[in-house]
Structure 1
Amino acid sequence: MAAPVSPNKAPGAAPGEGRIVVTGGAGFLGSNLVANLASQGEDVLIVDTLARPRVEENLNWLKERHGNRIAFERSDVRDAGKMAEAIRGAKAVVHLAAQVAVTTSVTDPVSDFEINARGTLNVLEAVRNGAPDAPVLFASTNKVYGKLMDLDAMKQEGERYVPRDPAFDKGLDETTPLAFYSPYGCSKGVADQYVLDYGRVYGLKTAVFRMSCLYGPRQFGTEDQGWVAHFLIAALTGRKITLYGDGYQVRDILYVDDAVNAYTRALADIDSMAGQAFNLGGGPANTVSLRELLSLIADITGVKPVTDFDEWRPGDQPWYVSNTDHLSRTSGWRAETSVRDGLSKLQSWLGTAFEAQGAAKRELRA
């Protein structure tokens, strides 16, 4: 059952009226963003299906911490009517709800399209018709750039791949051609372009973040999504980690507080950021290969992860690093948290989360 609307809203008001609406707000990035906004005194409506495992824990944490600042609507972005109702009169909209796994998109491309592409169109139409002055921020992905480079464009240095062409030393910027690969890349790419086009055609204040790999507290990572947390959880619980490919593939990873900072800056200064796409990742200073991350986890935790290997997966990029200069020039943003510090913070939170989960199970058995 949906939580009641906060009492500071007039009777009969639309659920989102005067609030910042965050679709997918009970998820990993969503819950961290909502906590930040509520701490700043904002009223927030979370729209979420609670389909991902354990996200109800995030929702409960937000309600306990922020009380009536948080309202909740259990709705699906595929339901255009529900989106229209939830977003009507909203102060701002942050659209994070999505099907997030490449593997799932390959298995069920129709659902992937309906959630990511049609769902985003439903959100945009709801804003256009019911909150046309509201800033709209959209969580896109680096997968809109496709596979980028084949292995023959790489060279191996130590435990990682690097491009042979030094032109990529600062990473890939937003002028990189879009080249959707995998149903997930296609559905998110369609959504990415619709968000920008609703700014051009209808004058909405829209901005797109093409995100690299995020990690941090409140992330219940799985093999298909949230791989940094998944690696750390598997290591701490003694489960085997499967590396798809050879493990030398590289990503720039970004701690969640830094991502939240980018979103809040955009909401505060949407006029300078509207109509643009921004790469959002850790950048060259926060790159790590899969093998390097496993070594770092062993160093931090004292536990050597158990691994095996499998074939490369469709659309997997052997190397991706964000050039975030455009975001930095426009907003003053930069990544503040190092990979080691971020992993240590995530490990600390996971220890607390596992302890709380164990206590809850013991209480249920009692």
Structure 2
Amino acid sequence: MIGERVLVTGGAGYIGSNLVDALLDRGDHVTVLDDRSTGRIENLAGAIGRGATVHTADVVNADAVARVFAAARPSVVYHLAAQIDVRRAIEDPARDARINVAGTATVLEQTRRSGVERFVLASTGGAIYGDAAIVPTPETEPARPLSPYALSKAAAEHYVEYYALRHGLSAFVLRLANVYGPRQDPRGEAGVIARFCGAAADGREVTVFGDGHQTRDFVYVDDAVEAFVAAGEHRVGGCCNVATGRETSVLDLVRALDLPARFVPERPGEVRRSCLEAARAAELLGWHARTALHDGLAATLTSTAAETAQARGA
């Protein structure tokens, strides 16, 4: 319903901030909760000017979360706050679990206490399914976590299922493929497309881990945002993949962006092939990916080059 009071955790991140913009565009009253450890307040500059309210808080801090809920009085909660770096999860699994498991439980409990009408969790498809037996992978495939990050997101999904069954919470899980697009920082926790576009903007070579034949399913951020909005509007339960159903290798990206590359040993805990079936999203939410990879890459490269030029000017 347009004009809802909504809360977006992790709303200063690149997916979250794009979601905030889309919700404002349709007339919703938006509150953002973000600890700003990886999210950037610059991503919300336009949103703040249009009336979005931003609270700096940690999703594990129950008192802080309660205060934000009391101020926002949301009818829909989009929970995107997470630790998403596989490497950091391997190095510090306790921190990963604290944010992704305890943080989700904290937000869910406050969602229940506040009588929120709808809860949507951002989860991960590629990491959840691991090295799946079926590619493209449907939601019926079992979880095969290969990293602490995948384990923590699987646990977060189980918490959502528990609150739906035990408390009757209307909730839905979006298992995201590899989302890319403008505002994704080419450093830190960035995905491969953001890193490669950053290298292209700087005129640098890129690092390819392994032989480069590993594949991913790349879905453009605007398409992913449309899935979140649809999940907030519908009242179906369960989960669905948010994906294109098409495999793209790392070498395909190197060629598409015409980048020089150096090859180093593959990293532990990474999936060899990842591509998700998206038929359930069409069935339950009426959603499908609309942006071709070529167009999404062009938009991301243009945005990254502009940000790089602005940073150099500063």
Please report the TM-score for the alignment, with normalisation by the length of structure 2.
0.94
Aligned: 1:32 with 2:18? yes
- In the alignment, which residue of structure 2 is the partner of 1:137? 120
What CA distance in whole angstroms lies between the structure 1 residues aligned with 2:178 and 2:207?
18
Matching residue of 1:327: 281
**Counterpart in the other structure of 1:266:** 231
Contact 1:80 1:122 in 2 (8 A): yes
User: In terms of Rg, which structure is larger?
Assistant: 1
Cα displacement string for residues 77-101 of structure 1 (whole angstroms, at most 9, x for unaligned residues) = 1101111221243121000001110
Residues 254, 260 of structure 2: 8 Å contact kept: no
1:298-337 CA distance string (max 9 Å, x none): 2xxxxxx232222222221111111010111112211100
- Identify the residue that residue 76 of structure 2 maps to in structure 1: 92
Does the 8 Å contact 1:235/1:306 carry over to 2? no
Task: Mark the runs of 5 or more structure 2 residues left unpaired by the alignment.
Answer: none
Query: 1:244 Cα shift?
Result: 1.4
Q: Distance in 1 between matches of 2:162 and 2:257?
A: 42
Is 1:60 the counterpart of 2:45? The answer is yes
Q: Secondary structure at the match of 2:175?
A: strand
- How much has 1:32 moved relative to structure 2? 0.4
Conserved 8 A contact 2:77-2:116: no
Instruction: Tell me, in whole angstroms, the C-alpha distance in 1 between the residues paired with 2:103 and 2:188.
Output: 25
Is the aligned partner of 1:311 residue 2:265?
Answer: yes
Task: Tell me which amino acid in the other structure corresponds to 1:136.
Answer: F
2:179 alignment counterpart: 214
1:57 and 1:282 mapped to 2: Cα distance? 29
Q: Rate the CA distance shift 1:325–1:209 in 2: closer, same or farther, 3 A.
A: same
2:193 pairs with 1:228: yes
Alpha carbons 2:11, 2:81 under 8 Å: kept: yes
Contact 1:87 1:93 in 2 (8 A): no
Aligned to 2:211: 246
Equivalent-residue separation in structure 2 for 1:110 and 1:232 (angstroms): 32
Could you tell me which of 299, 307, 310 is aligned with 1:353? 307
Moved more, 105-114 or 307-316: 307-316
Q: Distance in 2 between matches of 1:82 and 1:126?
A: 11
- Give the aligned partner of residue 103 of structure 1: 87
- In structure 1, the residue corresponding to 2:257 is in which secondary structure? helix
Q: For the residues of structure 2 that align with 1:72 and 1:56, how far apart are their CA atoms?
A: 9
Which of 291, 296, 307 aligns to 1:342? It is 296
Match of 1:76 in 2: 58
Query: Among 154, 167, 173, which residue is 1:202 paired with?
Result: 167
The C-alpha deviation readout for 1:152-197, integer Å capped at 9, x for no partner, is: xxxxxxxxxxxxxxx63xx100001112221111111100111122
Unaligned runs of 5+ residues in structure 1 are 1-17, 150-166, 299-304, 362-366
State the secondary structure of the residue aligned to 1:126: helix
In structure 1, what residue type is equivalent to 2:171?
T
Aligned to 1:289: 249
Distance in 2 (CA, whole Å) between partners of 1:310 and 1:24 is 33
CA deviation map 1:205-260 (0-9, x unaligned): 11001111011111113364322111111122123322112100111100111001
Percentage identity across aligned positions? Answer: 34
| Residue equivalent to 1:154 | none
Give the conservation status (yes or no) of the 8 Å contact 1:238–1:306. no
* Residue 63 of structure 1: how far off its partner (Å): 1.8
Is the Cα–Cα contact under 8 Å of residues 249 and 318 in structure 1 kept in the other structure? yes
Q: CA deviation at 1:59?
A: 2.1
Whole-Å Cα distance in 1 between the matches of residues 146 and 163 of structure 2?
24
Secondary structure of 2:228's aligned partner: helix
Structure-to-structure mapping, 1:155-170, within 5 angstroms: 168=135
Contact 1:146 1:315 in 2 (8 A): no
Distance 1:311 1:223, change over 3 A: farther
Deviations 1:122-162 (A, max 9, x none): 000000111x242110011121112336xxxxxxxxxxxxx
- Alpha-carbon contact 2:254-2:261 (below 8 Å) kept: no
Decide whether the 8 Å contact of 1:38 with 1:44 is kept in 2. yes
Verify: 1:146 aligned to 2:130, yes or no.
Answer: yes
